């Protein structure tokens, strides 16, 4: 036991940088670190936030436990008078999916984004004080991605000055909204607005669905839970629900009227605000999900890295620091490093791009408030694309971390199966990842077509202004060290991205209609979108390194991580880089050499780099990822805690095992 604990201490002693300073970089600022650290400890030390029994709870117990925690979170937020910033750290560290996510993450933002000032004054205080609990009811049984295809209707009745909300078909049943099944009292419902016999398309409406007195559904409302979801624990603590309306009436002023409104006479009037603002809550949550992706991935990487340093298999016996013969730490296998270290680098890369995206979103909101809508298309493309890129990579990465831990990774007590089950739907919710990448490609094709009109591309597409150069430039790498030059890396990624986009744009012209072209070329368009989004992540990592980064050795570690992130992408997408001529086969081989050498450089720092995430053992929820590395005794302890081990002879023995054994024994004797 002693020896295992020593392993991580020895690993920590090898670090070549200041972990404390890196913690500040990871958190974003000294202030963010202090707040996050305080809240993490507060959660870890409070038995009310215990979560180690989740895997063995039944659905009903799990759901009730999530209700209890959500109520307790709310109580603590009020008792401690936590700020919004502190409350959102609390959400991370409590780590229990509950209706409150949708209430705060979607219902409230939808009201803020799509309701008029007057409507906000009425509804926000109720929602902010949790006098009502809301959900976001957009998706239907028949349509999720295709929002324009929603079928629920909201028909204006001029006589009574009301909208009649109705589900005309089975497929129009709302399906999936979180918190809807059993909890929400209200919903922002997306429905086709019909007035004067004309269909004006999808709009948002605020609809009460349950009584505030006895919680029963209101007349005309049929509502329930859609059933168990993938994995134990995870999303099963949330009541994703179905909802049907049978001619439910709501006052006219419960249509969210910032984008357009219906007058008392039933006239449809558009405002000067773009209709896309109706989708504003999705833009908001997509940027939060990018931050969530870095948290989820870093959590898995922390577990897999610590365990890989503790775990030993095979090897020429080495001598440990006490001169004893020991097997090889699995982290020293180059295959383990080539699977794990790029994930560690990705966690940092996603953290920094998430930070930037938060800035972009804040800037967008300030501009929208000043009636400047110019950056909305870019914000939509960036949030959609980065949500897609980071969630796909994080979900795959969590699964890889579980495999990196061998058999023990499959144990619930590793924390990895539940983390995977809880995170993988992020590839689907808030927009299916492929559908979102197609949105990015649409934006890219539009930007390219505008180049011909002389319109200067801005923001993340600014590189497209150098299209002539990027189409014909040649990578200058001659030796492996040249790949450490950020401008060389950046140019290779820009060349690959623009060449893929331009090829798509050229191919699109070969089809009879743009629609046909988009449909036929969609796999290529998705690849072009991925290349563009990866370029954003790469460029934001490089920009981060150009900032004033303090702390002994911190910048050097980040440079190594950045190199690994970029070179591993080149390695994985070699086909793109070679087929577009962005790099040559020889340069590809030099990139692989450099990547291997970066792994060796990083090796002695990896435990300290995951320590810099500053995750408590409570948050990690993993025996394999424990800070002290004391894995085996704790695994043994955990095994004993399983309910199956409550009795020596299992339930069912007398009914099913004993008779079977007796029968076999008798058969043998006959
Ligand atoms: C105990 C714990 C207590 C905790 C305490 C509380 C703390 C809580 C904090 C909050 C945390 C939140 C965390 C989040 C957790 C997440 C939980 C999961 C919840 C899941 C919810 C959902 O899934 S909601 C449903 C989401 N649905 C989708 O995403 C659907 C995807 N489809 C679409 O978005 C669209 O239909 C489309 C974009 C794919 C196509 O739309 P449409 O056909 O109308 O458009 P066009 O393609 O014709 O485009 C028209 C034009 O508009 C542009 N555009 C499209 N979308 C947008 C947009 N969103 N914004 C701006 N612009 C947009 C498009 O590009 C076109 O532009 P052109 O210029 O014409 O090309
Ligand atoms: C855990 C969870 C929570 C959710 N919470 C909510 C919520 O609170 N509120 C809410 O309203 N919704 C919620 N949703 C629903 C979610 O937003 C939708 O599932 C999501 O938008 C995807 O839509 P879909 O299910 O219709 O998938 P589909 O669009 O049917 O996708 C099926 C397949 O078709 C492909 N596809 C679809 N369209 C295209 C296209 N144009 N081109 C190429 N391929 C295409 C997709 O890539 C996918 O492979 C939740 C979903 C989950 C899983």
Token pair 């076999």 is found at: 664
The set of residues, in sequence order, having a beta carbon less than 8 Å from that of 232 and lying 6+ positions away, is 54, 55, 412, 417, 418, 421
CB 250 within 8 A of CB 156: no
Which of 213, 239, 236, 231 has the alpha carbon at shortest distance from 99?
Answer: 239
Q: Is 92's pLDDT higher than 50?
A: yes
Could you give the 3-state DSSP secondary structure of residue 539? helix
Rounded to whole angstroms, how far apart are CA atoms 169 and 149?
A: 13
What tens digit of pLDDT does each residue of 443-494 get?
Answer: 999 999 999 898 999 999 999 999 999 999 999 999 999 999 999 999 999 9
- Based on C-alpha coordinates, what's the Rg of the chain? 27
Q: What confidence score (pLDDT) does residue 6 get?
A: 56
Could you give the 3-state DSSP secondary structure of residue 616? coil
Q: How far, in Å, from the CA of 209 to the mean position of ligand 1?
A: 23
pLDDT band, residue 325 (cuts 50/70/90): confident
Q: Is the CB of 15 under 6 A from ligand 2?
A: no
What tens digit of pLDDT does each residue of 43-86 get?
Answer: 999 999 999 888 889 999 999 999 999 999 999 999 999 999 99
Structure token pair of residue 420: 């995977």
What tens digit of pLDDT does each residue of 374-423 get?
Answer: 999 999 999 999 999 999 999 999 999 999 999 999 999 999 999 999 99
Ligand 1 pocket mutation, candidates 49, 51, 102, 377, criterion most atoms within 8 A of CB: 377
The stretch 563-567 carries a mean pLDDT of: 98
Rounded to whole angstroms, how far apart are CA atoms 37 and 43?
A: 10
Ligand nearest to the CA of 178: 2
What tens digit of pLDDT does each residue of 196-207 get?
Answer: 999 999 999 999
Q: What confidence score (pLDDT) does residue 129 get?
A: 96
Ligand nearest to the CA of 171: 2
Rounded to whole angstroms, how far apart are CA atoms 511 and 517?
A: 5
Token pair 């709501």 is found at: 250
Q: How far, in Å, from the CA of 147 to the mean position of ligand 1?
A: 9
DSSP lists the bridge partners of residue 187 as 135, 207
Protein residue with its CA nearest to atom 43 in ligand 1: 148
Q: What confidence score (pLDDT) does residue 3 get?
A: 46
Token pair 């079977």 is found at: 660
Residue 139 annotated in ligand binding: yes
What tens digit of pLDDT does each residue of 96-134 get?
Answer: 989 999 999 999 999 999 999 999 999 999 999 999 999
Rounded to whole angstroms, how far apart are CA atoms 105 and 97?
A: 12
Residue 217: phi and psi, rounded to 5, are -60, 145
The set of residues, in sequence order, having a beta carbon less than 8 Å from that of 478 and lying 6+ positions away, is none
Q: How far, in Å, from the CA of 622 to the mean position of ligand 2?
A: 31
| 473 class by beta-carbon count within 10 Å (0-12 exposed, 13-18 middle, 19+ buried) | middle
pLDDT band, residue 323 (cuts 50/70/90): confident
- Other CB atoms within 10 Å distance of the CB of residue 159: 7
Could you give the 3-state DSSP secondary structure of residue 138? coil
Structure token pair of residue 664: 């076999």
Q: What confidence score (pLDDT) does residue 4 get?
A: 45
The set of residues, in sequence order, having a beta carbon less than 8 Å from that of 622 and lying 6+ positions away, is 303, 413, 414, 415, 416
The number of the ligand 2 atom at minimal distance from the alpha carbon of 174 is 11
Q: Which of 400, 418, 430, 491 is catalytic?
A: 430
What is the overall mean pLDDT for the chain?
96
Q: What are the contacts of 26-31 at 24+ separation with CB within 8 A?
A: 26/348, 26/351, 26/612, 26/613, 26/614, 27/614, 28/355
Which of 179, 205, 181, 180 has the alpha carbon at shortest distance from 191?
Answer: 205
Residue 204 annotated in ligand binding: no
Task: Go through the domains of the chain in sequence order and give each one's CATH number.
Answer: 104-273 (2.40.110.10)
Rounded to whole angstroms, how far apart are CA atoms 204 and 186?
A: 13
Ligand nearest to the CA of 279: 1
What tens digit of pLDDT does each residue of 253-282 get?
Answer: 999 999 999 999 999 999 988 998 889 999
Q: Verify whether residue 369 is a known catalytic residue.
A: no
Lowest mean pLDDT among 94-98, 178-182, 353-357, 565-569: 94-98
Question: Rounded to a whole number, what is the largest CA-CA distance in the chain?
Answer: 94
In the structure, which protein residues have their CB atom closer than 6 angstroms to any atom of ligand 1? 69-70, 73, 87-88, 91, 94, 96, 98, 100-102, 104-106, 136, 138-139, 145-148, 178, 276, 279, 282-283, 285, 288, 376-377, 380, 429-431, 435, 439, 442, 446
Q: Identify the DSSP state of 238.
A: S
What tens digit of pLDDT does each residue of 494-510 get?
Answer: 999 999 999 999 999 99
The stretch 339-356 carries a mean pLDDT of: 98
Token pair 């090829």 is found at: 503
The stretch 283-295 carries a mean pLDDT of: 97
- Other CB atoms within 10 Å distance of the CB of residue 115: 24
Q: What are the contacts of 357-362 at 24+ separation with CB within 8 A?
A: 357/287, 357/290, 357/291, 357/382, 357/383, 357/386, 358/287, 358/291, 360/287, 361/283, 361/284, 361/287
- Encode 486-521: b = buried (16+ Cβ within 10 Å), e = exposed: bebbbbbbbbbbbbbbbbbbeebeeeeeeeebbeeb
The number of the ligand 1 atom at minimal distance from the alpha carbon of 381 is 65
């Amino acid at each position: 036991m002693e020896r295992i604990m020593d392993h991580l201490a020895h690993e920590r002693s090898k670090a070549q940088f200041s972990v404390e300073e890196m913690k500040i970089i990871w958190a974003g600022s000294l202030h963010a670190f202090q707040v996050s650290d305080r809240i993490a400890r507060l959660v870890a030390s409070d038995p009310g936030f215990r979560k180690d029994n989740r895997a063995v709870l039944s659905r009903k117990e799990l759901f009730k436990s999530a209700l209890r925690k959500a109520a307790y979170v709310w109580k603590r937020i009020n008792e401690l008078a936590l700020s919004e910033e502190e409350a959102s750290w609390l959400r991370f560290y409590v780590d229990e999916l509950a209706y409150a996510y949708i209430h705060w993450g979607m219902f409230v933002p939808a009201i803020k984004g799509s309701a008029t000032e007057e409507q906000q004054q009425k509804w926000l205080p109720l929602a902010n004080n949790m006098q009502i609990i809301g959900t976001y009811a957009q998706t239907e049984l028949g349509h999720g991605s295709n929002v324009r295809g929603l079928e629920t209707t909201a028909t204006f009745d001029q006589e009574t000055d009301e909208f009649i909300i109705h589900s005309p078909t089975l497929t129009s049943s709302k399906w999936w909204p979180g918190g809807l099944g059993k909890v929400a009292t209200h919903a922002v419902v997306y429905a086709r607005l019909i007035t004067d016999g004309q269909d004006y398309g999808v709009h948002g409406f605020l609809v009460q669905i349950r009584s505030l007195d006895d919680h029963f559904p209101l007349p005309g409302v049929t509502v329930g839970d859609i059933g168990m979801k993938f994995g134990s624990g995870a999303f099963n603590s949330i009541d994703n629900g179905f909802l049907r309306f049978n001619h439910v009436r709501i006052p006219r002023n419960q249509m969210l009227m910032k984008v357009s409104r219906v007058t008392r006479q039933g006239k449809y009037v558009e405002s000067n605000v773009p209709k896309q603002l109706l989708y504003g809550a999705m833009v908001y949550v997509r940027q939060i999900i990018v931050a969530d992706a870095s948290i989820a991935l870093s959590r898995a990487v922390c577990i897999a890295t610590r365990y890989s340093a503790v775990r030993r298999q095979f090897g020429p016996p080495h001598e440990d620091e006490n001169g004893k013969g020991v097997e090889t730490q699995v982290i020293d296998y180059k295959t383990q490093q080539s699977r794990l270290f790029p994930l560690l680098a990705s966690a940092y890369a996603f953290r920094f791009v998430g930070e930037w995206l938060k800035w972009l979103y804040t800037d967008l909101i300030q501009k929208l408030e000043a009636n400047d809508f110019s950056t909305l298309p870019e914000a939509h493309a960036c949030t959609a694309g980065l949500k897609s890129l980071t969630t796909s990579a994080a979900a795959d990465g969590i699964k890889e971390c579980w495999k990196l831990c061998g058999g023990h990774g499959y144990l619930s007590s590793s924390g990895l199966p539940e983390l995977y089950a809880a995170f993988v739907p992020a590839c689907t919710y808030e927009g299916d990842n492929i559908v979102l990448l197609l949105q990015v490609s649409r934006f890219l094709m539009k930007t390219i077509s505008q180049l011909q009109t002389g319109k200067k591309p801005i923001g993340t597409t600014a590189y497209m202004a150098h299209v002539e150069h990027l189409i014909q430039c040649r990578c200058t790498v001659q030796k492996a060290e040249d790949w450490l030059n950020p401008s060389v890396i950046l140019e290779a990624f820009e060349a690959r991205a623009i060449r893929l986009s331009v090829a798509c744009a050229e191919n699109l012209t070969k089809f009879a209609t743009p629609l046909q072209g988009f449909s036929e070329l969609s796999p290529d368009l998705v690849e072009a979108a991925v290349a563009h989004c990866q370029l954003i992540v790469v460029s934001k990592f490089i920009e981060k390194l150009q900032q004033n980064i303090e702390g002994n050795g911190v910048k050097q570690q980040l440079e190594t991580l950045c190199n690994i992130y970029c070179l591993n992408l080149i390695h994985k997408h070699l086909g793109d880089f070679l087929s577009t001529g962005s790099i040559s086969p020889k340069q590809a081989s030099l990139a692989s050499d450099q990547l291997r050498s970066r792994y060796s450089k990083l090796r002695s720092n990896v435990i300290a780099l995951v320590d810099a995430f500053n995750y408590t053992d409570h948050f990690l929820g993993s025996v394999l990822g424990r800070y002290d590395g004391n894995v085996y005794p704790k695994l043994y302890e955990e095994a004993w805690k399983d309910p199956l081990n409550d009795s020596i002879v299992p339930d069912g023995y007398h009914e099913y095992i004993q008779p079977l054994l007796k029968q076999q024994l008798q058969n043998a004797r006959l």
